[in-house]
Amino acid sequence: MRSPRRARTAATSAASSRSSPSSTIRQTVVVPRSVLKPSPARALEFSEIRVQGATELCIVGEKPSVGKVDLQEQKIFNIEELAELCIRIEETCVGFAKFNFFQIVDATDNFSERRILGFGGFGTVYKGQLPNGLMIAIKRLDQHATIFDFDSELQLAKLQHTNLIRLLGWCIHGEERILVYEFMQNSSLDHYISDRTKGQLLDWSKRFKIITGLTEGLVYLHKGSMSCLVHRDLKPHNILLDYNMSPKITDFGSARTLSSDVAEGHTSRLVGTSGYKAAEYASRGVYSTKTDVFSFGVLVLVIISGRKNTILDKQEDTVGDLVRDAWHMWMDQRLHELVDLLLGDGYEVAEITKCAQVALLCAQEDPAERSTMTDVAAMLNSESTSLPMVPKQPAALIHGCADRGTTPTYMGQSSRTIEVTITSSAPMSTRVRIILDPEV
């Protein structure tokens, strides 16, 4: 291992060799931020403007929002404040420690592209190895991350559950903000679902184990920890698998805490992935534990089928084609058509049926109709092969030219949504959602 002094020299030399005479050289940063690729998940920022009677602009601003929103989401990093926060958590959370920046530089081979594991919601994740041989995952937050994103990830230090990724430590060096996690040998669930060769390694017993593990992890997030935490971005990419193929939920940069007296929150800064976002969150920025429940329901159907859940925006789709197909197959007792062909005949029909029904109960359009994760755990653990609850049929798609005045019944009012994508010389696009409310 290189000494800190040698690493610092290498870092400075690398920065100098890449900089022109007119460039600004940061002595303590190994790779200039200008060469970092922005995370795909942050390609779009959402603004929302609500208009009553299509004439009066109710909220105006750079980041207009509706209702109570997370105002801190726009807060810019204050390095000193962030370091103090990390130190306080370090003092109270066993196993959470500060890492030396140049130790991380060595562990990642100077943040080599060959070490990149993927891109999280607010940064790049690298594979690293410490001098003692321990493998770690290192998230290097990008320039667009806010202190709220970092703080959300830090909540993991206070959580201890076998189905949540473990946060090992932190590092702040100059403008670098880094978090260190345990390393998962078997990558993410996405690698198996999207790869037909690797998918053969996931037999039904492993898939069922992943479903039950995710259930336990979410019950803990919603009920078992000191506060109610809503993940808001559950998808196969954010489910890591350990050496025993047990699932661990990761990427908590989008997570938000709800107090015991608040059932839901509102935001104008939407995150998440199409096909996994609940309708009330995608259209109005409303999130609650039922937001995660919807995503979980879709995840279970994806695990069973090996299919993606495609949202047909032009046809006013609010749940996705996989959810609709699964409901019809469940009703017609054709669930064998839903099962991933890679599973062959190696599955229990009763378990598939129960998991599919639970998934459909979770993926209801109306959040009030969705099960809680506690209910899900009880249903999956029940010895009964049949469940009394019947999932409602998803709303029919609007064919042809969509009627923009039609909205799902759960919204409780007639609103129209116009989405416009604006691009400029800025490094990212901004999607503006204009909601036209009827006059009261």
Digit-by-digit pLDDT tens for the chain (440 residues) are 444 444 444 444 444 444 443 343 333 345 444 444 444 443 334 444 444 433 333 333 333 333 344 444 445 557 888 888 899 999 999 899 999 999 999 999 999 999 999 887 678 999 999 999 999 999 998 877 777 778 888 989 999 999 999 999 999 998 899 999 999 999 999 999 989 899 999 999 999 999 999 999 999 999 977 789 999 999 999 999 999 999 999 999 889 998 876 789 998 888 889 999 999 999 999 999 999 999 999 999 999 999 999 998 878 889 999 999 999 999 999 999 999 999 999 999 999 999 999 999 999 999 999 999 999 999 999 988 778 899 999 988 876 544 444 444 444 333 344 444 433 333 433 444 444 444 33
- Is 332 contained in some domain? yes
- Is 123 contained in some domain? yes
| DSSP codes, 176-209 | EEEEEEEPPTT-BHHHHHS-TTGGGG--HHHHHH
pLDDT for position 377: 97
Place of tokens 């609650």: 288
Same domain, 93 and 141: yes
Beta strand segments in 2-58, E: 44-52, 56-57
Same domain, 138 and 87: yes
Same domain, 157 and 232: no
pLDDT for position 313: 80
The secondary element (H helix, E strand) that includes residue 362 is: helix 349-362
DSSP state at residue 233: -
CB of 401 closer than 8 Å to CB of 321? no
Same domain, 245 and 349: yes
Number of domains in the chain: 3
pLDDT for position 175: 84
> Number of C-alpha atoms within 13 angstroms, CB side, residue 77?
18
**Which residue numbers are catalytic?**
233
Same domain, 271 and 342: yes
Burial grade of 93 (CB within 10 A; 0-12, 13-18, 19 or more): middle
Same domain, 346 and 232: yes
Same domain, 323 and 359: yes
- CATH assignment at residue 95: 3.30.200.20
- Domain final position from 182, 207, 239: 182
Same domain, 55 and 161: no
- Is 352 contained in some domain? yes
Known binding-site residue numbers: 139
- Is 141 contained in some domain? yes
Per-residue b/e over 125-136, b at no fewer than 16 CB within 10 Å? bbbbebeeeeeb
- Is 52 contained in some domain? yes
- Domain final position from 182, 202, 225: 182
- CATH assignment at residue 193: 1.10.510.10
Q: In angstroms, how far is the first alpha carbon of the chain from the final one?
A: 69
Same domain, 151 and 276: no
pLDDT for position 439: 38
Interatomic CA distance for residues 92 and 160, integer angstroms? 13
CB of 363 closer than 8 Å to CB of 323? yes
Residue 110 has phi, psi (to 5 degrees) of: 65, 40
CB of 301 closer than 8 Å to CB of 364? no
Same domain, 111 and 250: no
pLDDT for position 122: 78
- Is 102 contained in some domain? yes
- Is 221 contained in some domain? yes
pLDDT for position 57: 32
Q: Which residue range is the domain that position 145 belongs to?
A: 74-182
Known binding-site residue numbers for ATP: 139
- Is 31 contained in some domain? no
Same domain, 202 and 330: yes
pLDDT for position 398: 75
Same domain, 248 and 374: yes
Estimate to the nearest angstrom the gap between the alpha carbon of 193 and the chain centroid: 17
